[in-house]
């Protein structure tokens, strides 16, 4: 038996195993940017994970960056998500929602009154997003004014409150992959002056204030955060000193007593230790800044996931794509069964195909047709 199946206390929750379903954007929200019947079945199928982290879910209408991604800010969305959480809990699962604001990775056609996306800066990245007309260049953003920051923090607090009303066991704040919060963290993007720009302390201020607000609203033991210190995803250069920046951030968050820190190692969907970095990132040193459960993510499989746990590099491992095509991933890992490969053509948008129709093992351990 590998460490993957050891129970662990994560904040206010006791998890039966250390296998986490990573957040996976699938672009299948229904009218009103709500989850529908497909999402109820999709998450229910995967509830054997020690913890499910939902697809990225916007905290407000201004937080949306892609077509058909769900929100968690109005009563209809809360009611729809309640059907998902009830289904997960009915089969013994646990589920957090990932709270998301894309910042400058958006298009005006997705935003209220065709507004410009908001960010720490008015500089537009050279990247595309998915809108009603297909893939389009993101729109030029505008820099948030300092006096708008309290309302943004309140949006996060409100979304966390909605999440608990919807029956989620907690929330994960998406501060990774160069969406809004990382646009404030990195000096490669944040060109502000004033209280939210310049020094590492100031650039980390927004994330710290958001985490403090959410922890005060729903409890630190039901609040996690996801970070990605070295990724260049979304056409964003690394910070000039990512080691100092992220050690500072994690050390400032540690006294809150958060449920966990979730780290994407290296390039999102790429190498864990990019060879184009000026110097390797020391993930062990980052982990030493936090006393709570430590979750790693990026391409882990049946062999290296248990090794990372046994070596003390992580307390939890988040699996992404394997959960897309293996709803019974926990059983397959436990039994050493082969994994079904996913079909990338059905990752984003569509219906049940490539979403809720992947096979599971039958009672004898054979793949059901």
Structure tokens at 283: 């993930």
Dihedrals phi, psi of 200, to nearest 5 degrees:
-60, -40
Select from 161, 168, 211 the least CA-distant residue to 51.
168
Structure tokens at 121: 């800066």
300 in active site: no
Q: Which of 42, 73, 179, 260 is catalytic?
A: 179
Neighbours of 197 (CB within 10 A): 19
Predicted confidence at residue 192, as pLDDT, reads 97
Structural domain boundaries in the chain = 3-346
Predicted confidence at residue 167, as pLDDT, reads 98
Structure tokens at 301: 């499989």
Dihedrals phi, psi of 229, to nearest 5 degrees:
-60, -30
CA 163 – CA 61 distance, rounded (Å)? 16
pLDDT tens digit at each of 369 positions of the chain: 689 999 999 999 999 999 999 999 999 999 999 999 999 999 999 999 999 999 999 999 999 999 999 999 999 999 999 999 999 999 999 999 999 999 999 999 999 999 999 999 999 999 999 999 999 999 999 999 999 999 999 999 999 999 999 999 999 999 999 999 999 999 999 999 999 999 999 999 999 999 999 999 999 999 999 999 999 999 999 999 999 999 999 999 999 999 999 999 999 999 999 998 888 999 999 999 999 999 999 999 999 999 999 999 999 999 999 999 999 999 999 999 999 999 999 999 999 999 999 999 997 777 775
Q: Which CATH number fits domain 3-346: 3.40.50.1980, 3.60.20.10, 3.20.20.70, 3.90.1150.10?
A: 3.20.20.70
- What is the bridge-based pairing of β-strands 142-143 and 118-119? parallel
Predicted confidence at residue 175, as pLDDT, reads 98
Residue with tokens 């009303």: 165
Predicted confidence at residue 315, as pLDDT, reads 98
Structure tokens at 310: 């046994």
């Amino acid at each position: 038996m590998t460490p993957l199946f050891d129970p662990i206390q994560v904040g206010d929750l006791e998890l039966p195993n250390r296998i986490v379903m990573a957040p996976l954007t699938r672009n299948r929200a229904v009218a009103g940017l709500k989850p529908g019947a497909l999402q109820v079945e999709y998450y229910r199928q995967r509830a054997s994970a020690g913890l499910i982290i939902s697809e990225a879910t916007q905290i407000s209408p201004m937080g949306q960056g892609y077509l058909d991604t769900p929100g968690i800010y109005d009563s209809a969305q809360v009611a729809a998500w309640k059907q998902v959480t009830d289904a997960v809990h009915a089969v013994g699962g646990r589920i957090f929602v990932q709270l998301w604001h894309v910042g400058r990775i958006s298009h005006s056609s997705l935003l209220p009154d065709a507004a410009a996306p908001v960010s720490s800066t008015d500089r537009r990245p050279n990247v595309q997003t998915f809108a009603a007309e297909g893939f389009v260049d993101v729109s030029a953003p505008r820099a948030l004014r300092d006096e708008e920051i309290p309302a943004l923090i309140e949006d996060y607090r409100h979304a966390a409150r909605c999440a608990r009303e919807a029956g989620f066991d907690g929330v994960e704040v998406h501060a990774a992959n160069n969406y809004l919060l990382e646009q404030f963290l990195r000096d490669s993007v944040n060109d502000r002056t004033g209280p939210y720009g310049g020094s590492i302390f100031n650039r980390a201020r927004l994330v710290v204030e958001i985490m403090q607000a959410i922890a005060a609203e729903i409890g630190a033991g039901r609040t996690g955060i996801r970070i990605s210190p070295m990724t260049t995803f979304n056409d964003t250069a690394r910070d000039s000193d990512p080691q100092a920046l992220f050690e500072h951030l994690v050390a400032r968050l540690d006294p809150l007593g958060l449920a966990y820190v979730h780290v994407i190692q290296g390039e999102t969907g790429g190498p864990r230790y990019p060879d184009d970095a000026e110097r390797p990132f020391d993930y062990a040193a980052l982990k030493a800044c936090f006393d709570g459960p430590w979750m790693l993510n990026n391409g882990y499989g049946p062999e290296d996931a248990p090794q990372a746990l046994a070596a003390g590099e992580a307390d939890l491992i988040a699996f992404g794509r394997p959960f897309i095509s293996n709803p019974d991933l926990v059983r397959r890992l436990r039994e050493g069964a082969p994994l079904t490969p996913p079909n990338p053509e059905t990752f984003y948008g569509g219906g049940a195909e490539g979403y809720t129709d992947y096979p599971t093992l039958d009672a004898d351990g054979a793949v059901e047709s």
